[in-house]
Amino acid sequence: MSISFSQELLISTLAIILVPLYMLYLRSSRPKNPPALPTNWPIVGVFPYLIANFHNLHDYLAAVLAEAGHNFRAHGPPGTGLRFFITCEPANVRHIFTTNHANFPKGAEFAAIFDIAGGSFFTTEGEPWRRQRARAQRVLSNPRLLVRMTACCRDKVENGLLPVLMHMATAATPFDLQDLTTRLVFDMTAAPLFGVDPGLLSPDMPPMDAAAAMDTVMEVALFRHTVPASCWKAMRRLNIGPERKLAAAHTVLGGFIEEMVERRKKEHVANEGDPSSVDILSSYIDDLDYQQNDGLLHATLINYMIAGRDTIGTALTWVFYNLAQNPHVMSAIRNELSPIASRKAATGANNSSTMVIFEPEETKSLVYMRAALHESLRLHPPVPIERKTAVANDVMPTGHVVHAGDTLLISLHSMGRMEGVWGKDCLEYNPDRWLSEDGKKLRYVPSHKFLAFSSGPRLCLGKDISFMQMNTIVAAMVWNFDMEVVEGQRVQPKMSCVLQMKNGLIVKLKKRDM
């Protein structure tokens, strides 16, 4: 049954009035040792707890799921349709993502939340999704495109990242590493996508309007996930609150995509037949379905930007943070890189006298560095929460019953922090947990336990590309520089659908003596 605008406004108003009252009641009646589990209160459900803990939502969910045994059921105010089953149990994840995945699509509400990517394979289901995914798989497996993406990554490291880092090290200037990795990965994603380099990682550090707009999309999306749809839809109609900010972000992103498409269309005609002009956009420009539907083309391009920029850029910042906090891990990675650097020095293969640049192929088989990356992704998955909807009633492997229409929230962030999943040292950064006994191979860990690249039919198509990029960037930075996280800053996740750091990551660098 559809809800009118007046009904949306009424429900939103009631929530605004009742939630603070319930929070005051909770505060006044709170026992000395309150339980970790929130109470499903009448009328407002767990909504007061979500509001009270929204600033630290990911850690709060981890505490709740640890107390509840990896699974928790919650509901929101009546009439809002907020019925949640929250889980981080690997057996349930396998059931949801693989065994009975047809019963757990992302759902219409997910598509509404990410309306900016509406119609793309990020939000669609069924035959449209299968058709678009097959198309994306063909595009991303194109050997020419893979060569270009590899070359783009290598070039950005040598001619963009390392000179900037050298400047920062020479000046001994503290800087925001998250800002730098965002610029780097935005360029690395956009160049092979549009065939045009935005040039955000340049000496003058230009404004990042499109990147900032993408951040806004992800922040407001988390807000949409956690409040009744009637609430955020009423805000959207009234153009107030987070929805006002989101509307401005949509305008900026739409303008950026349109500019990139128009520039590439002109170059596509001029350079037709040039093998060096291969890019992702060109493979869609001549497709009749996309020619006749600019909205679908734009949504698909934003889908690629999210998949590339948000995930890799976010992951890298946490990788460097974890390495800086664990110097012995950084030393072990350098020991693994040392034979490669020695060979390059002996053969004169390195073009720079002061920097060592590692080719993507040289780092592909490095076991310990891959283990270090996996461990960072375990503790800090770029996408901390996945959302699904139950089509029909079902029973989870743990015995929990879900009903048709229930929203399932899978907390990846919590899964990496569960003692029952990863052992008593689950909160420690320990790459050794990924290694075989002799340390020469990676242990097999099923995707439903390590969900950083999703699982089942929606397994990430760009996983190998992601590791190629991270290997190349991490190797260059770890080998050439010592890094120190500036003391006194509070490192915590931003409340967003991607696990960026709320306050950035301020670091200082020192050039290593070779």
Q: Which of 93-107, 347-361, 425-439 has the lowest mean pLDDT?
A: 347-361
pTM > 0.85: yes or no = yes
Looking at the structure of the chain, the number of domains it has is 1
Give how far the C-alpha of residue 320 lies from the chain's centroid of Cα atoms, to the nearest Å: 16
Q: What is the pLDDT of residue 3?
A: 44
Q: Enumerate the H helices of 36-102 as residue ranges.
A: 47-52, 57-68, 90-94
Going by pLDDT thresholds of 50, 70 and 90, the confidence category of residue 39 is confident
CA 162 to CA 200: how far, in whole Å? 14
pLDDT tens per residue, range 364-397: 999 999 999 999 999 999 999 999 999 999 999 9
In angstroms, the Cα distances linking 366 to 211, 328, 336, 379, 503 are: 31, 17, 7, 21, 32
User: CA-based diameter of the chain, in Å?
Assistant: 75
In this structure, what CATH number is given to the domain that contains residue 168?
Answer: 1.10.630.10
Residue 128 burial (CB count, 10 A):
14
Percent over 70 (pLDDT), the chain: 89
The range of the structural domain enclosing residue 362 comes to 5-511
Going by pLDDT thresholds of 50, 70 and 90, the confidence category of residue 350 is low
Does the annotation place 497 within a ligand binding site? no
pLDDT tens per residue, range 54-74: 888 899 999 999 999 999 998
Going by pLDDT thresholds of 50, 70 and 90, the confidence category of residue 270 is low
